[in-house]
């Protein structure tokens, strides 16, 4: 993110990941076509257009699986966090590949009759006579419509203007899109083609993805359900200052169940809510960079003492009073009041907000 909205937010890291993503897509598409031409018993029977449709469709499914796996994988293995930082472009790219697949399919299968291609596509619903003839193309169209909505609103402009709550709820439609996509493949390719490999791959992909999400989710729930420390005098014990790695945080539970990130910066400590003001990223899993707590998800920064983003940004997060008693850090479970007149912190380096 920058101070002013820009169409595409690129930096060195994002350029590198985007280049890797495009290279992967090109290599995959070329490999798919080459292998299909060499391996299929009668390559002459399969039109190049059909090959391209299948290559793009399978690529879109693979990319969607990767996109959806990054979140839980980064929770389980923090070394994968750089992938999360670059995930947004991958999501939009997935939509573009799916759009190419859909466009080519619609033109190839519905574009050469007397009926409007879209009407022809919708009419496939009337041809349902059994489970095996469910209108799989419409499932795919539904998934594509949701992916479009998500790609179109993926920009921080929409996150800001729709509000974080509405935006998050909107992007939760990805669950529906994923289920529709599985139905698209299950009642499409799995019925039309008798090949076992694609069927196994789709089932394996769904199983891996669901297991990853459930593993990450249950681990988080276990933490959420662990008993919050008793705080008779409203002060929570966060342990010895020396045991918190410098510029890093220890995450503790407030009595209400929300998480507080307790950062160490040299011989001082500060506490902030663990929820980033941008997309709710876990601030406590980030570190202090240039004097600011930096979210591991998208690099949003907040001053550890005031919770204010460095100027010219205006975001802020809740902070908690901290005291150090005999080397132990104690955090008040009641958030510090937000002073309207509080001056934002000026960072040492130029403010990069994401």
Partner 1 sequence: MTRRHRSVHLTMWLLAAGVIAATLVVALLARGGAAA
213 makes contact with partner 1 (CB under 8 A): yes
Q: Are 104 and 59 in contact (CB under 8 A)?
A: no
Q: In degrees rounded to 5, what are phi and psi of residue 337?
A: -65, 145
Q: At what angle do helices 164-171 and 136-152 cross, to 10 degrees?
A: 160
Count the neighbouring beta carbons within 10 Å of the beta carbon of residue 37: 13
Q: Of the ranges 9-17, 30-38, 79-87, 191-199, which one interacts with partner 1 (CB under 8 A)? A: 191-199
Q: Are 228 and 254 in contact (CB under 8 A)?
A: yes
194 makes contact with partner 1 (CB under 8 A): yes
Q: Of the ranges 179-187, 244-252, 303-311, 346-354, which one interacts with partner 1 (CB under 8 A)? A: 179-187
Strand-pair category, 287-289 with 268-273 = unpaired
35 makes contact with partner 1 (CB under 8 A): no
Q: Which of 1, 241, 275, 288 binds partner 1 (CB under 8 A)?
A: 275
- As a whole number of angstroms, the distance between CA 301 and CA 353 comes to 6
Q: Are 1 and 7 in contact (CB under 8 A)?
A: no
State which residue, 6 or 210, has the beta carbon closest to partner 1. Answer: 210
183 makes contact with partner 1 (CB under 8 A): yes
What's the min distance (Å) between Cβ of 162 and partner 1?
16
Find residue 237's DSSP bridge partners.
330
State which residue, 60 or 183, has the beta carbon closest to partner 1. Answer: 183
217 makes contact with partner 1 (CB under 8 A): yes
Write out the two tokens for 187.
């009642």
What residues line the site for partner 1 (CB under 8 A)? 130-132, 134, 168, 172, 175, 178-179, 182-183, 186-187, 190-191, 194, 199, 202-203, 206, 210, 213-214, 217-218, 220-221, 224, 257-259, 275, 280-282
């Amino acid at each position: 993110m920058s101070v002013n909205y820009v169409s595409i937010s690129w930096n060195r890291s994002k350029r590198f990941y985007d280049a890797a993503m495009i290279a992967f897509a090109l290599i995959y598409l070329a490999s798919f076509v080459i292998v299909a031409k060499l391996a299929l018993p009668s390559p002459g029977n399969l039109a190049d257009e059909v090959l391209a449709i299948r290559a793009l469709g399978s690529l879109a499914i693979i990319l969607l699986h990767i996109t959806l796996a990054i979140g839980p994988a980064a929770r389980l293995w923090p070394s994968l966090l750089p992938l999360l930082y670059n995930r947004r472009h991958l999501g939009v790219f997935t939509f573009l590949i799916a759009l190419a697949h859909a466009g080519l399919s619609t033109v190839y299968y519905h574009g050469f009759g007397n009926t409007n291609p879209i009407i022809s596509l919708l009419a496939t619903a009337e041809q349902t006579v059994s489970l095996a003839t469910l209108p799989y193309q419409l499932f795919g169209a539904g998934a594509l419509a949701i992916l479009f909505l998500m790609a179109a609103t993926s920009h921080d402009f929409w996150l800001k203007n729709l509000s974080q709550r509405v935006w998050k709820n909107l992007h939760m439609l990805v669950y529906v899109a994923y289920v529709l996509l599985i139905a698209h493949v299950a009642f499409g390719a799995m019925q039309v083609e008798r090949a076992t490999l694609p069927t196994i791959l789709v089932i394996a992909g769904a199983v891996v993805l669901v297991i990853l999400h459930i593993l990450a989710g249950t681990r988080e729930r276990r933490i959420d359900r662990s008993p919050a420390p008793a705080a008779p005098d409203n002060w929570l014990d966060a342990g010895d200052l020396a045991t918190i790695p410098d510029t890093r945080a220890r995450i503790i539970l407030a009595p209400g169940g929300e998480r507080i990130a307790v950062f160490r910066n040299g011989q001082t400590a500060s506490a902030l809510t663990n929820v980033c003001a941008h997309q709710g990223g876990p601030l406590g899993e980030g570190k202090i960079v240039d004097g600011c707590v930096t979210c591991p998800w998208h690099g949003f920064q907040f001053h550890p003492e005031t919770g204010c983003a460095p100027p010219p940004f205006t975001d802020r997060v809740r902070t908690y009073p901290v005291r150090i008693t005999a080397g132990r850090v104690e955090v008040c479970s009641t958030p510090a009041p937000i002073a309207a007149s509080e001056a934002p912190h000026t960072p040492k380096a130029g403010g990069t907000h994401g």
